[in-house]
Structures are given as structure tokens and as C-alpha cells.
């Protein structure tokens, strides 16, 4: 079953079981949200939510992730209203570009930033005049966009993430 949460920008599907054509369509066709335009509205990205997200580099599926692994419907309902958990917290971490504690940012550094450093940039990093985390942050904000689908709990998000990584969106993510 799929419930729909109405919002002013689009509808956010609340996925209750396995990925369906509706889930796939949402993660492939919903308007892309930008890491550069932050924060998105709470209707586009709720403060507390479990779910999956697809990150795109241009039109290519770049990365699929999930958030809210330990969230249950009860925890979501009783969460503090001004504290981010789950999807918003995870995407904020990605947007920061900080590699410490964020595997996605490590992947971006390893696959996009480090291989393309000029000798001058390498020297500046060695002198601590340039920071790799800042380059990662700038790349994410300039080059990547995302779509998301909310799930009722973290367990559903984890199962859905596995299916999407295996090609559930019609392609395997680059990272």
C-alpha cells in the first residue's frame, strides 16, 4: 500500500512495502531538489522521517542511500519538532562535505576531487591553505541534486535501499 502525503511542491509517497512503479517513478521523475538551495521546505524534506534518497549527477543516478535506520512510526510521531532526524539529518551531513563520519563524502572525495587535483591544489592542501572537505562541499552543492521517498520506518527504508542499489531504478548507481 502507498499512502500519499500532500505538500505544496509535490506529493511525497509514504512507502509501506516493497518498491513499486510509483516508488520508482517518484525517485526518477519528481523534481530534483538542490543541495545548493538549503534548507528545502519541510513539505519537501520533513524534519523527522525515515526513507530513501537518490542522488543524481546530471541525468545519471550517482548514489542511493537511506536514513532513519532506527526510526519507528512511534519515534517519528513523538520526535522533538525542532530537531532533525533521518532523511533531513543525513542529507544535511552530505551537503556539509565533511568526510568525517559520512561515507558518501568520502566517496565523492575519492572519485571526484582527489583524482582531479592540480599540483598547485595539492601543494595548497599540504600547506593547509585549501581543504579537501571544502572542495567536496562545493562539488556536492554545485553538481548534485536529489529526490527522496519517505518510508514508515527505518526497516522499510533499509530493504528499499538494497533493492534500489541493485538496479530497482532501472540503473545501478555510479557510487
Query: Which H or E run includes 111?
Result: none
pLDDT number for residue 115: 97
Mean pLDDT over residues 55-69, rounded? 95
Confidence band of 48 (pLDDT split at 50, 70, 90): very high
Please classify residue 65 by burial: count the beta carbons closer than 10 Å to its beta carbon, then call 0-12 exposed, 13-18 middle and 19+ buried.
Answer: buried
Distance of CA 37 to the CA centre of its chain: 14
Mean pLDDT over residues 108-121, rounded? 97
pLDDT number for residue 11: 40
Candidate from 12-16, 51-55, 154-158 with smallest mean pLDDT? 12-16
Backbone angles phi and psi of 107, in degrees to 5? -60, -45
Please name the residues in contact with 161: beta carbons below 8 A apart, sequence gap of 6 or more: 52, 64, 65, 66
Amino acid at each position: 500500500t502507498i499512502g500519499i502525503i500532500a505538500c505544496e511542491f509535490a506529493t511525497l509517497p509514504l512507502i509501506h512495502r516493497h518498491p513499486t512503479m510509483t516508488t520508482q517513478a517518484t525517485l526518477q521523475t519528481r523534481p530534483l531538489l538542490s543541495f545548493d538551495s538549503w534548507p528545502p521546505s519541510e513539505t519537501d524534506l520533513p524534519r523527522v522521517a525515515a526513507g530513501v534518497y537518490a542522488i543524481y549527477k546530471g541525468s545519471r543516478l550517482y548514489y542511493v542511500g537511506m536514513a532513519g535506520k532506527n526510526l519507528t512510526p512511534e519515534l517519528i510521531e513523538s520526535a522533538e519538532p525542532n530537531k532533525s532526524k533521518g532523511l533531513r539529518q543525513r542529507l544535511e551531513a552530505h551537503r556539509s562535505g565533511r568526510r568525517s563520519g559520512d561515507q558518501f563524502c568520502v566517496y565523492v572525495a575519492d572519485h571526484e576531487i582527489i583524482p582531479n587535483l592540480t599540483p598547485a591544489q595539492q601543494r595548497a592542501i599540504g600547506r593547509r591553505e585549501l581543504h579537501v572537505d571544502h572542495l567536496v562541499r562545493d562539488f556536492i552543492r554545485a553538481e548534485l541534486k536529489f529526490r527522496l521517498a519517505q518510508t514508515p520506518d527505518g526497516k522499510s527504508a533499509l530493504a528499499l535501499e538494497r533493492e534500489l542499489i541493485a538496479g530497482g531504478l532501472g540503473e545501478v548507481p555510479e557510487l
